[in-house]
Structure 1
Amino acid sequence: MSSLAMEVETGSENKHKQLASWVEEVAHMCKPDRVYWCDGSGEEYQAMLRLMVLA
């Protein structure tokens, strides 16, 4: 996908439309490879710890 056509997937659980719109606007300006939405789960926390230890 080209950076000009990047889509920011918010997932069905994201109910904050203004936040999603702002993130999409910033993503179009900054052109990241991808946007990751944190969910705050314990599973996500453990995955982040594993990534930091491996780095």
Structure 2
Amino acid sequence: MYSIANRLTLSEATVKTHVERLMGKLGLSSRAQAVVVAYETGLVVPASRPSHGH
């Protein structure tokens, strides 16, 4: 959470509160579930991986 807080110039406690509230509204019990939802909804798009010369 520190890097998020640092980038947004917010306290870690503020970021943690926002994350917890968002997860509660989405009915999620873990950050891993939040990552899955982010990918499934298109909020996060996987980066393409470079080929190994093939």
TM-score, normalised relative to structure 2: 0.33
Bigger fraction of residues in helix: 2
TM-score, normalised relative to structure 1: 0.32
Q: Tell which structure's C-alpha radius of gyration is larger.
A: 2
